[in-house]
Amino acid sequence: MPAGRTLLERVAISLFPLADEVAHLGTGGFACTFRIREGDRQTALKIIDPGLSERERVDRELNALQRVTNDGVVQFLAHGVHKFEGVDYCWIRMEFIEGRSLGAELGAGVVFTPLEALDLISRLTDAAASIWAQGTAHRDLSPNNIILDADGRPVIVDLGLARHVDDESYTALPTPGTPGWMSPEQVGSSPVHGDWRSDQFVIGALAYRLLTNVQPFYALSLIDRWRAPAVQTPQPIRAIDPEIPSAVADVVERMLHKQPHRRYLKVSELLTDLTLAISSMQSASTIETSPQRFLLNIGQVKNYAENGLFGL
């Protein structure tokens, strides 16, 4: 039976009895996260519910993720096991990221320019690549697992340990994850956890949402949202916004291919194409201002002609 937030909060307090504050930050599929304040220092503490977690998988991913060093990935500080009322609870201590989740920003109606969107996606992919380099994947890169810090920099949190789904999602769905933000192979007829190409698909879905301001997948019920990536195909990006360069749309739509082997197979190639896409977007922005400069030049030529400068 799940431990529940109240019990996990008691575990957190017993682990840090001298803390000035233990504040609940969020509840995921099998863990609760708390902010621990000790004087001027703040850290994040995740208490994992032993009734829902897979200890071997947690240990395996922790061993890999402790080696990740990237400013765009939440930093692990320590982890261990704490016995409370005769039960062992795994805990993970991380840096505390001050900011709001990308999900909260989108929910509040924040709109990104195409160039801002691509820059964010490029930074996010670079950060995720440091996780992939350790032979693992996040598998839940939903907007709620991406924190935008004070400078607008995206920081990946939870790192494949807590899926940030509510209890209903955890018990009702065949595989853990965030409905609507999973890859087709994670929600297909024979769902799997997926690998870095599954993360790539979700980053592509985020890029689609940020570029078009349209959700890539739609469904009303929980199970339909979960199934949507396997049965729905997003509308072509340029059909929604023809101003987006084809070089940009091509990269995102390749990331969103339903078959993993048709997506990018090399991280370096994906990062290179994202850089080229940003250059394409910058060029498009320059071209937009060209007609005004051209008309100004025409006007200047006309004035010069009237003044006889061309002997007319």
pLDDT in tens, 103-151: 999 999 999 999 999 999 999 999 999 999 988 888 889 999 999 998 9
Q: Note the residue count of the chain.
A: 312
The answer to whether residues 84 and 133 belong to one domain is: no
Strands in 68-116 per DSSP E: 76-84, 87-95, 100-101
Domain span holding position 79: 5-95
Whether 310 is in a domain gets the answer: no
The answer to whether residues 243 and 139 belong to one domain is: yes
The kind and range of the H/E element at 68 are: none
Q: What is the mean pLDDT of the chain?
A: 84
On whether the CB atoms of residues 120 and 114 are closer than 8 A, the answer is no
Q: What is the pLDDT of residue 1?
A: 46
Residue owning tokens 């929980």 = 222
Q: Residue 258: beta bridge partners?
A: none
* pTM of the entire predicted model: 0.83
15-24 long-range contacts (CB < 8 A, ≥24 apart) are: 15/45, 15/47, 15/82, 15/84, 15/91, 16/45
The span from the CA of 216 to the CA of 203, in Å, is 11
**Phi (first) and psi of residue 257, to 5 degrees:** -65, 140
Whether 299 is in a domain gets the answer: no
The answer to whether residues 120 and 254 belong to one domain is: yes
The answer to whether residues 105 and 89 belong to one domain is: no
The answer to whether residues 74 and 175 belong to one domain is: no
Specify the CATH number for the domain of residue 272.
1.10.510.10
The span from the CA of 3 to the CA of 226, in Å, is 25
The answer to whether residues 166 and 114 belong to one domain is: yes
The answer to whether residues 54 and 175 belong to one domain is: no
State the Cα torsion 239-244-250-254 to the nearest 10°: -80
Could you tell me the two tokens for 128? 């995720």
Largest CA distance in the chain: 99
- Using alpha carbons, list the distances in angstroms from residue 62 to 2, 88, 137, 182: 22, 17, 12, 22
How far, in whole angstroms, is CA 215 from its chain's centroid? 14
The answer to whether residues 76 and 15 belong to one domain is: yes
Last residue of a domain, one of 32, 66, 95: 95
The span from the CA of 248 to the CA of 242, in Å, is 11
Q: What is the pLDDT of residue 142?
A: 92
The kind and range of the H/E element at 24 are: strand 21-27
pLDDT tens by residue, the chain, 312 residues: 456 889 999 999 999 999 999 999 888 667 889 999 999 999 999 998 887 656 666 676 677 778 888 999 999 899 899 999 999 998 999 999 999 999 999 999 999 999 999 999 999 999 999 999 988 888 889 999 999 998 999 999 877 543 333 333 444 566 767 889 999 999 987 878 789 999 999 999 999 999 999 999 988 888 899 999 999 999 999 999 999 999 999 999 999 999 999 999 999 999 999 999 999 889 877 755 444 433 333 333 333 333 333 333
Q: What is the pLDDT of residue 299?
A: 39
The answer to whether residues 246 and 132 belong to one domain is: yes
Number of domains in the chain: 2
For 86, the 3-state DSSP assignment is: coil
Q: What is the pLDDT of residue 61?
A: 65
Residue owning tokens 């431990």 = 3
The answer to whether residues 25 and 117 belong to one domain is: no
The DSSP secondary structure of 29-60, one letter per residue, reads SSEEEEEEEETTEEEEEEEE-TTT--HHHHHH
Whether 312 is in a domain gets the answer: no
The span from the CA of 66 to the CA of 30, in Å, is 20
> Is the C-alpha dihedral spanning 9, 136, 1, 172 positive or negative?
positive
